[in-house]
Amino acid sequence: MSAGGRVSLVGAGPGDPGLLTLHGKRRLESADVVIYDALSNPSLLAFTRPDCEVIFTGKHGSGVRLTQAQITETMLGYARAGRSVVRLKGGDPFVFGRGGAEARACVRAGVPFEVVPGVTAAVAAPAYAGIPLTHRDHASVVSFVTGHEADREGDRAVPWEALARQGGTLVLYMSVLQLSGNLDRLTAGGLDPATPAAAIRWGTTARQRVVRGTVATLPALVAAAGLRPPALVVIGGVVGLAAELGWFERRPLFGRRVVVTRPRGRAEAFAALLEGEGAEVVSLPTIAPEPPASFAAWDAALADLGRYAWLVLTSPHGVEVFFDRLRALGRDVRELAGVAIAAIGPATAAAIGARGLAAALTPGEYRAEAVADGLVARGVAGKRVLLARAAGARRVLPERLRAAGALVDDVATYRTVLPPEAAAAPALFAGSPRPDLVTFTSSSTVTHFAGLFPGRDLGAVLAGVAVGCIGPVTAATARDLGLAVDVEPKDYTVPAFAAAIVDYFRSRPAANP
């Protein structure tokens, strides 16, 4: 085996991406290859490098599904080739996740491996449903049980009679399809049919569905609700506390599926705000920043920064690219002595501040027109202004400055392209469940999104899906493409945008996820 090959069996947690451990995040960030299963939230793949190879194992009924033998051989094959492999598994790798079998395969193949524990659904899903597994008045014993081995005989069979007698809390994995039979075995073993019981589907996610009853009534209630896997069942007196302690489903965006089109590396803060209010966030980046076709004009501007009165930066990514290129040319911030910096908004100003500099101008309205007005008000006639921004940006800023007599160099620091992940858009909006809202944070996210549906009426594609735009410029682009804009915050910031989304849905009850 080549040096450096290793397998990390990483627990992805039960669905809420916020429950991934820091250790798991670090392993994803450094992975060469990620092999993930259907119970791993795909949003966790945002932590991987752009050059990371991602392999989906498939799911039951999908038509494309790797066998366990194929998964193991793929995992070992990449590790033998010297690659750093993350086997991303829903929940915890060593709790009903075949992690033990995969670890043994590594040992037998002589492949180094490690186990990164994850939060198992048996702990997290009841907590999100308001069910404490232990409580001094109800349970001091908890048992995790697999339901799909109910018909096995011999030493490996589930000891249903013993479980029925021991009391405490029972958590049954993979039991929904065998629910009646499993509960019959428990009652035959002596469990009181009136014992509270609950089934939880897609626990910890915005699709969470909880059905509560008793051991006697739960099978019929689950059937009437159409509850299917993935789900687990909790049995015991603690289930009776759910009506009082349930918290997750009371969040204002619970049950809502929100699409975020921001680029990788820029979507996380927005997603966290939405997820904190209960939403299921689907990452669909429609733009990805790339270097300009040529650095010639850019390098010429940086060669004599002192001639400019103003440097205008219009995005945090533009700030990063500017200073990275300055450093690549062997220059530093001393080149900016005497140059005033204008930022289009607080996020851009914060990125400038992180480099030890202060923006001299950050207008109260975060768009190009306000930047132009602020510069003109300070007097730019006869002064040189360097605009460092994305290729193809709106012309309003250089045109207004030139009209005021400024000598403007408009230099592309980066360009935006359509990332490969965006190809999932047609299936996403044609699938089930459909998104409740698609969000846009720049005109380019809208235009690139529209390009994913060539020749189609964008309004028809998004029929029944609300549209949110961070500000008037983005909203105008959306309307020009035939979209009605439902959410538009008064302040053009990500926190204000998230708050406006909460306000929009607060008065609109969600259907069952």
The residues carrying an active-site annotation are: 37, 59
The count of other CB atoms within 10 Å of the CB of residue 82 is: 13
**Residue 440 and residue 258: Cα distance in Å, rounded?**
11
Find the Cα–Cα–Cα–Cα dihedral 423, 427, 433, 438, rounded to 10°.
40
**Cβ atoms within 10 A of the Cβ of 6, count?**
20
382 Ramachandran zone, left/alpha/beta (phi>0; psi -120 to 50): left
CA 449 – CA 422 distance, rounded (Å) = 8
Instruction: Outline where 290-367 has alpha helix (H).
Output: 296-302, 316-328, 346-353
User: How far apart are the two ends of the chain, measured CA to CA in Å?
Assistant: 47
Residue 359 near residue 329 (C-beta atoms within 8 A): no
Estimate the crossing angle of helix 346-353 against helix 316-328, to 10 degrees: 30
Identify the three-state secondary structure at position 84. Answer: strand
Strands 196-201 and 53-56: unpaired
Token pair belonging to 489: 């915050």
